[in-house]
Amino acid sequence: MPGDLWSLDAAELHEAYTRGRASPVEVLDACLGRIAEVDPTIGAFTSLTDESARAEAEVAADELARGVRRGPLHGIPVALKDLFDVRGAVVAYGSPVFDGRVATHDAHLVTKLRAAGALIVGVTRAHEFAWGLTTQHATMGSTRNPWNTDRVPGGSSGGSAAAVATGMVPLALGSDTGGSVRVPAAYCGVMGLKPTYGRLSQAGALRLSRSLDHPGVFARTVDGLARGLEVLAGDDPEDLSTHPDSAWEPIDLDAAVSGVRLGRVPDLHGMRLAPDHEAAFQHAVAAAESAFGEADEVAFPEPEAILPAWAVIQQAEAYDTHTRILGTWPGQADDYGADVRPLMERAADVGIGDYLAASDEAQRVRRRFEAVFRSVDVLLTPVTAGPPSTCADPGNVEHHGEVIRFRRLVLGYTVPQNLAGLPSCAVPVGVDDVGVPVAVQVTAPWGREDLALGVARRLEQLLPPPRWTAPQA
């Protein structure tokens, strides 16, 4: 077993530890070996914390030998997006503005991972300031899609998704403001969970948009997502978005979805799907219906108001982050990347009235979702309308014979869940015509990750995703 330990998911590693067939030190060595083998091509990591991870692995191995079990991630290697502070590691938020910055403290979620016995392996590449969907940068390095290295992996958490997809780590953390967990999960063929807003603390992580940001989890299996959620969820006095009911206890996911009512909501299909993506979506819906019964079609009024409201809130809150909290704009404007700088310039024009009106619209969107969930329990929607852009031209993509901005291909599908704060899980269901995975997302009511994960696990059983991939030589 030691030779293929990098290929095991969190549950399989837990079982191997329980049976004494592997140790955390062997698993860490296997993951570091896998990183050395494939990451020069993929570019998932910005830095490794291998020395401290080895010390953690030795402690975990000793505890396991003595029968000490700290939880479902004890001895499991984990990577963190370059937005979460990891003590002693370079965490630059994907930007030249903070190039070489060494974090002096752990983010709250990193502290929870360490307390649970996880092995912190390193920091994964992110789109600059998490403000983009491609994880490409002219000077800070880029991540490639492991299924087709001419394509982007999605973003902004592209490094975390690619690391899990290639077996570099079984679990990784990202963040999601408008799809930044679900989009790269979809394009890299792994499971990606955006929990309910406030379920996971943002303390110690850079916030692009405080009311839209959701820390999230990547794993190879739904079981891995559930393990991560169990460890990471909970109230944090340093983060007012969390609350006393933020903790999440493991439950029987099969029982949670007994009798579940599926819903389809064409009004939230942001853009016409490419033919191969349409076929994959319909196949996934048919598979879900075979397990749960026919999906009801439900209406969602005024969907056209969602994206404008989200954009205004994101811009206003990002501008506050960079001017008041970081203090880097406009004084260091020349150090910002060519794609992020114009976003900051436009954000400066958002007024308080615009922000308050957009916040009112967000509340109306939440109420529309509440009405939808009175007639169905979960929604099945696509994650993206077509394949990812190329690394050569990351900002644009051809769709139905027209060249459009890449962001238009995805945001209409993923933004609604951020505006409403709802849990949503990306589940791989196929591969498209350019060899890149396709996913659907399962969205559930506020606080009902059990429903999203339960339906996702049934889809995982019916349409088994590929376990991992390796870059083509």
At 378, the amino acid letter reads V
pLDDT of residue 25: 98
What is the Cα–Cα distance from 325 to 317, expressed in whole angstroms? 11
* 471 pLDDT higher than 90: no
Region of poorest pLDDT, from 170-179, 245-254, 359-368 = 245-254
Mean pLDDT calculated for residue range 387-391: 98
Coil, helix or strand at residue 71 = coil
pLDDT of residue 3: 57
DSSP 310-332: HHHHHHHHHHHIIIIIS--TTTT
Closest CA to 206 of 329, 83, 309: 83
- pLDDT bucket at 4, cuts 50 / 70 / 90: confident
At 126, the amino acid letter reads A
pLDDT of residue 472: 45
Q: What is the DSSP letter of 8?
A: -
Closest CA to 383 of 342, 345, 344, 424: 424
Average pLDDT, the chain: 96
| Alpha carbon distance, N-terminus to C-terminus of the chain | 26
What is the Cα–Cα distance from 415 to 412, expressed in whole angstroms? 6
What is the Cα–Cα distance from 206 to 105, expressed in whole angstroms? 13
- pLDDT bucket at 211, cuts 50 / 70 / 90: very high
| Phi, psi of 211, deg, nearest 5 | -95, -5
pLDDT of residue 307: 98
pLDDT digits (tens, 9 = 90+) for 98-140: 999 999 999 999 999 999 999 999 999 999 999 999 999 999 9
Sheet strands (E) in 257-395: 262-264, 296-297, 378-382
Q: b/e for 204-231, b at 16 or more Cβ within 10 A?
A: bbbbbbbbbbbbbbbbbbbbbbbbbbbb
| Phi, psi of 299, deg, nearest 5 | -95, 150
* 174 pLDDT higher than 50: yes
- pLDDT bucket at 468, cuts 50 / 70 / 90: low
- pLDDT bucket at 411, cuts 50 / 70 / 90: very high
Asked if residue 124 lies in contact with residue 46, where contact means CB atoms within 8 angstroms, the answer is yes
pLDDT of residue 1: 47
Residue matched to tokens 């436009």: 346
DSSP-assigned beta bridge partners for residue 380 = 264, 442
pLDDT of residue 467: 66
What does the radius of gyration of the chain's CA atoms come to, in whole angstroms? Answer: 21
Please report, rounded to a whole number, the percentage of residues in the chain having pLDDT higher than 90.
96
CA 184, 189, 194 angle in degrees (round to 5)? 50
Mean pLDDT calculated for residue range 425-451: 97
Coil, helix or strand at residue 443 = strand
* 2 pLDDT higher than 90: no
Tokens for 32?
Answer: 């570091």
Q: What is the DSSP letter of 111?
A: H
What is the Cα–Cα distance from 402 to 165, expressed in whole angstroms? 30
50: left (phi over 0), alpha (psi -120 to 50) or beta: alpha
What is the Cα–Cα distance from 211 to 167, expressed in whole angstroms? 33
pLDDT digits (tens, 9 = 90+) for 74-104: 999 999 999 999 999 999 999 999 999 999 9
Asked if residue 337 lies in contact with residue 96, where contact means CB atoms within 8 angstroms, the answer is yes
What is the Cα–Cα distance from 107 to 41, expressed in whole angstroms? 29
pLDDT digits (tens, 9 = 90+) for 6-56: 999 999 999 999 999 999 999 999 999 999 999 999 999 999 999 999 999
What is the Cα–Cα distance from 362 to 239, expressed in whole angstroms? 21
Neighbours of 436 (CB within 10 A): 25
- pLDDT bucket at 473, cuts 50 / 70 / 90: very low
Tokens for 335?
Answer: 């150090």
Closest CA to 124 of 256, 217, 245, 253: 217
Residues identified as active-site: 81, 156, 180
List of domains in the chain:
2-462 (3.90.1300.10)
* 270 pLDDT higher than 90: no
Mean pLDDT calculated for residue range 355-374: 98
